[in-house]
Chains A and B, each alone.
Chain A
């Protein structure tokens, strides 16, 4: 936080974690002229006894106003970058976002690449975009007897809203589901329409109905893909560290070629 801002006047903000919610925080902060010490999604995370806590109820009208004036200051592309950062779902990023919008609304240097907040958000945009790009690469579809292609992922950030367009454009003739196992929701595509869907079993989102199973040739193509993957390896140049750097281990259990057997 900018030191000039701080003082007993500052307080902690609690909100619901949504993007309009965060914009409402910014609205409240300006309206009541009380700067933010932290911006969190859960009241219990605040352990500080010396400052006030303000619980902000998301208000669409205030959010729209903030969004509108921020867009006219920063442009649509920059707004999309900020929204992308917000998908990191982290308190430190939320605080940077509030700080950044404060800089923007008080006429500060939003393009000053010496600034900690400006560079910090730049970094986070990179992290989230990187995760998006990796998910576009590491999703593995399975074909099922009901004709639906399914995939489970566990991304570090909430990237489903970012990858929807990519998969819609790439597989327009397929009916597919991509399930985020960690967040308990997914994307469902059919005929060029992508819809968010919630799952009944949050832990096992793609637990199929009893009569549905993998399509006839599914296991054969998985086996062929594994054969291919093994054949292109050059064992003389083994470099597991490099492999893991490009393809973090946490994704392996959702990628057929990295799962043992076959």
Chain B
């Protein structure tokens, strides 16, 4: 092993891959059936955390950062003057196996610049996965990037070896994408997504009947949207995400706050996208997927951006005073879920408790309900907070504790 060369490549190709925020190693189910190495745990595991508090779960690297494209938002774009490097298939396999054996990682997330054409790049990614699975009996998690424009045969083969496949849409509207990445369109990303979705659904149905039908991308597909690099509104972003969940059956949409890494003139001269916005988008995404909210509940064309001062559920509650208070001892679960500070676990606990008697405020506190938000929107056997129908006066109350917290954080920063 040439350690010095490998170190150089690893630092270049890990650094270039880190702006892809997807880190999940969950949602798969691959058991160790061949006495080889590893398995994919349903829950996913974060093996370490970087100094910015992000999870390190997978060995996330590019095969190469040589790229024939020139997308303004990307560090690896052709016209950018950065160090270039490329791994061999064997090097990636060795690193993955050896990191995995030491329990450093859950698996591999392999992406790449397009170094010659789409098919050549995709073929190389597939070869890494195939070698890990067949030669080395590796059953850990593999996430491969789908390269837009690659042939369906190659994309299909990728699905046979990988747990998850992803293709990044990056720029939320087609018009903006054309401006910053003239060589790309949304359709190029959606087309392979559609193919994979069809195949995943098809093979799943087959597996239900024929147990030995092959695993095909058991952890599904994901994508990433860059936030704040273009003037696209939160309404555009969430609308797109919602469509992707509905039509392409995506497991996850990731939102990546734009870090101004680029000095390309096509990019806005703004500072970093506030972390809060990224956070609010994730909260909204969660409400869409698990809390029965629709995009229209959260945003409208007239009010196209999320409130940065309040979480989206609290903001919703303040816009709809007519729906509150929600009676703890009577309300159906879907209404309890619309109360700020009450999550799915709390709802389950409340329903269980109701079978035994009246539920009071102190019980909720013990269950872990966030009362500093929930108490304004609930009633207990008919008794509600005095301000429940005064959103104008509630708003400052709900923001104030957050402001204080922020001020304290500043003090210690």
Q: Determine the distance from Cα of A119 to Cα of B99 in the docked complex, in whole angstroms.
A: 40
Contact B18 A223 (CB under 8 A): no
Q: How many whole Å from A99's CB to the nearest CB in chain B?
A: 15
Q: Which residues of B contact A109 (CB under 8 A)?
A: 356
77-104 of chain B: CB within 8 A of chain A: 95, 98-99, 101-104
Q: Which residues of A contact B99 (CB under 8 A)?
A: 221, 224-225, 228
16-58 of chain B: CB within 8 A of chain A: 17-18, 31-32, 35-39, 41, 43, 45-56
**Any B CB within 8 A of the CB of A111:** yes
Which of A136, A173, A220 contacts B36 (CB under 8 A)? A173
Which of B7, B41, B95 contacts A223 (CB under 8 A)? B7
**Any A CB within 8 A of the CB of B206:** no
**Any A CB within 8 A of the CB of B265:** no
Q: Which residues of A contact B54 (CB under 8 A)?
A: 232, 234
**Any A CB within 8 A of the CB of B398:** no
Q: Determine the distance from Cα of A137 to Cα of B44 in the docked complex, in whole angstroms.
A: 10
Tell me the total A-B contact number using a CB cutoff of 8 A.
152
Stretch of B183-191, B359-367, B375-383 that contacts chain A: B359-367
**Any B CB within 8 A of the CB of A229:** yes
Q: How many whole Å from A119's CB to the nearest CB in chain B?
A: 5
**Any A CB within 8 A of the CB of B295:** no
Mask, A220-244, CB within 8 Å of B = 1, is 1101110111111111111111110
Residue of B nearest to A151 (CB): B103
Q: Which residues of A contact B240 (CB under 8 A)?
A: none
Q: How many whole Å from B233's CB to the nearest CB in chain A?
A: 24
Q: Determine the distance from Cα of A234 to Cα of B51 in the docked complex, in whole angstroms.
A: 8
Q: Which residues of B contact A114 (CB under 8 A)?
A: 353, 356-357, 359-360, 363, 366
Contact A112 B356 (CB under 8 A): yes
**Any B CB within 8 A of the CB of A170:** yes
- Give 4 nearest A-B pairs by CB, closest first: A242-B53, A231-B14, A237-B52, A112-B356
Q: Contacts A116-B366, A171-B101, A243-B51 known; A229 to B56 CB distance under 8 Å? A: yes
Contact B10 A229 (CB under 8 A): no
Contact B366 A119 (CB under 8 A): yes
95-153 of chain A: CB within 8 A of chain B: 109, 111-114, 116, 119, 133, 136-143, 149, 151
**Any A CB within 8 A of the CB of B11:** yes
Q: Which residues of B contact A240 (CB under 8 A)?
A: 51, 53
Contact A224 B36 (CB under 8 A): no
Which of B52, B359, B366, B367 contacts A238 (CB under 8 A)? B52
**Any A CB within 8 A of the CB of B150:** no
Interface size bucket, B side?
A: 35 or more
Q: Which residues of A contact B41 (CB under 8 A)?
A: 166
Contact B14 A246 (CB under 8 A): no
Contact A239 B52 (CB under 8 A): yes
Contact A225 B102 (CB under 8 A): yes
195-232 of chain B: CB within 8 A of chain A: none
Q: How many whole Å from A196's CB to the nearest CB in chain B?
A: 20
Q: Which residues of B contact A231 (CB under 8 A)?
A: 10-11, 14-15, 18
Q: Which residues of A contact B56 (CB under 8 A)?
A: 229, 232
Q: Which residues of A contact B55 (CB under 8 A)?
A: 246
Mask, B249-283, CB within 8 Å of A = 1, is 00000000001000000000000100100000000
Contact A237 B275 (CB under 8 A): yes
Q: How many whole Å from A194's CB to the nearest CB in chain B?
A: 15
Contact B53 A246 (CB under 8 A): yes
Q: Which residues of B contact A236 (CB under 8 A)?
A: 259, 272
Residue of A nearest to B139 (CB): A170
